[in-house]
Amino acid sequence: MASPKRVALITGGGRGIGREIALALAREGCAVAVAARSREAVEAAAAAARRLGVEARPVALDVTDPVAVTRAVAETVETLGPVDVLVNNAGIAESAPLLKTEPELWERHFRVNVTGPYLMTRAVLAGMLERRWGRVINVASLAGLYGAPYVTAYTASKHALVGFTRALALEVAGKGVTVNAICPGYVATDLVWNAARTIEARTGKSFDEAVAAMARINPGGRLIEPAEVAAVAAKLLWDDGTNGETLILDGTPAA
């Protein structure tokens, strides 16, 4: 029997990891709603998904805005159908020593990286439970499991996202819905290029040296490709038995 069509909503889907996840889920046959603040980026990502032969919609969304979250989910349900797969991928990462971590920077990390996933999940969970099928995939980070210097706000927010994942996974266990976190090390996206620019501006290191230093921090000694993260999300789509896990991607070879 053919698998039913699934509808996936991916936050931060306009570029980087989120865009790759949207395209990977499209290749699995999902209709995809690609959401982020930048309209141009989500329109381009949705067009790329449509070229893979699935329905796709761009959705303008700031995940920190409860009204926009409700609207984005309603728009997706109206145009594509009920949301079966939610990928909480939108995130920000800024570095600063704690003494320069102002409350605004701290709170911004929690609003985007934690409150965003909470609002998004709350907006789709009831429908998933009713239909007894759902996937919530949270893109956390190795920073959700370990500490690193100069990123207290980011690290604390990603630890919170991992805690959210584990608690909700237990709450929905046995009800057809799974909730998991993907925890990559440094991935080759704008987020890392921006971090390298910050390191370049604050230290004597060149941009290339800063990128190389981040690659070396990954246990595999290399940057991870967005497509590798997307492959884990695609696997979770068809996996009924994984719930409450933190799936680590650190660049080490699988075998």
Separation between Cα atoms, residue 106 and residue 111, nearest integer Å: 9
Sheet (strand 134-139) strand order: 56-60, 31-36, 7-11, 85-88, 134-139, 177-184, 246-249
Determine, following the binding rule CB under 6 A, whether residue 136 of this chain makes contact with ligand NDP: no
Of residues 201-240, which lie at the interface with ligand NDP (CB under 6 A)?
none
- CB-nearer residue toward ligand NDP: 133 or 184: 184
Candidates 11, 95, 121, 152: give the one binding ligand NDP (CB under 6 A).
Answer: 11
Count, residues near ligand NDP per rule CB under 6 A: 30
| Token digits of residue 90 | 């939108």
> What string of H, E and C letters represents the secondary structure of 188-211?
CCHHHHHHHHHHHHHCCCCHHHHH
Q: In sequence order, which residues have a C-beta less than 8 Å from that of residue 237 and are 6 or more positions away?
A: 6, 8, 25, 28, 30, 85, 135
Find the shortest distance in angstroms from Cβ 38 to ligand NDP: 3
154 is catalytic: yes
> Site mask, ligand NDP, residues 32-61, x = CB under 6 A?
----xxx--x-------------------x
Residue span binding ligand NDP (CB under 6 A) among the ranges 11-19, 52-60, 127-135, 165-173: 11-19
- Strand partners of residue 11: 35
Determine, following the binding rule CB under 6 A, whether residue 12 of this chain makes contact with ligand NDP: yes
- Give catalytic residues, as residue numbers: 154
